[in-house]
Structure 1
């Protein structure tokens, strides 16, 4: 069969590009796309444009929710705290819409950092807005960390019990959303991974760490793409 098409959520910002300054762009770090492609998928960027979400999501075979800026605390009934960045309403809206289509269609969803947080928030979960002990020592540099993973889980089957992952987060899950179960933790008990509580549900899993980086997460991307292939075959 042809490669399954994986929508990967992109950010929107401004950059200086060649001779041009303050260019509005939709972008995503290349490692996300490389990991999907190496796992056998065909990645496409999904920009944070709400009206573009449904036409794209009706045609793809899976959704990868990428990391990025803080989620608007209003989405989980909280006020914005001192260390929380200003909300990116367009991205929140577009990604929630993409997730809703993915769940309605029953296609696989893999989430990274912010992506996992947004899935939890969409199901009634809440976030700790600042975890200074989990913030990187040097802003902009990911740090390796060994996490503990429940063996009898989607994440455990792919990652093993103690993978090394790469982290750059200052927020984390406080209350986990409905229908999700925590399956990975840091040494201090912060949730580092979660997935669908129902083992019979379509593939839905996420890492708080940046799974697009490092070798230990390669099998997780393979499992995600294989689930996308299986789903595509069943719909053909």
Structure 2
């Protein structure tokens, strides 16, 4: 199962400030605990086709803000500088996954990538949703459509761990909004009802307990 990764500068043993492809360990462990075998998909656009040839599912992880130009908007001053290579890689990997009909799960930024890929748009800054403390998740109550993949997994409501300041404004072609923030109705999930499994979920399910990480089990099971 391909798991999208970031390119960052990292300290590595005695080596300092070297380029590395990384992703928080929790994404990988949640896939493995659900019965999948994860591998990192580095932000290398030219390698996407070859790497995705060996994937039976795609997990699009959290990360930087998407370039607003990709959904036809001017960059808001509060939108962080885009990672153009990550944007290109994630969108290319998603296109391959959809072409092959394999399961896709998008978490946080991953939800936004899915929406943008279908012509959807984003709110570039949602003050009420921005992290209270950078690096710490905020608990948010979420209403879930019962007649959805998420509804079958999570029931009619859940509490998600969120760390984002942007959100989906328009879901995009063929996508259905299936979860909303209880306090203000901001979209927290989208799905493609016609796909084998294509779900985008704004909260960081990889950081949640068993009541929410069942989403990973549904994702992995869909690959078999």
TM range (shorter): over 0.9
Residues matched between the structures, number: 222
Unmatched segments (≥5 aa) in structure 2 = none
Aligned to 1:208: 202
Distance 2:43 2:74 in 1: 23
Q: Does 1:193 align with 2:163?
A: no
Aligned to 1:162: 157
2:8 counterpart (8, 13, 19): 13
Residue 40 of structure 1 deviates from its aligned partner by 0.3
Distance 1:135 1:195 in 2: 24
Aligned to 1:132: 127
Q: Deviations over 1:64-120 (max 9, x none)?
A: 000000000000011111111111110111111100110000000001011110111
Aligned to 2:83: 88
Distance 1:76 1:22 in 2: 33
Aligned to 1:218: 213
Distance 2:86 2:132 in 1: 27
Write out aligned runs for 1:61-100 (5 A).
61-100=56-95
Residue 197 of structure 1 deviates from its aligned partner by 3.4
The two structures have a TM-score, normalised by structure 2, of: 0.97
Q: Does 1:60 align with 2:55?
A: yes
Q: Does 1:178 align with 2:170?
A: no
Write out aligned runs for 1:99-114 (5 A).
99-114=94-109
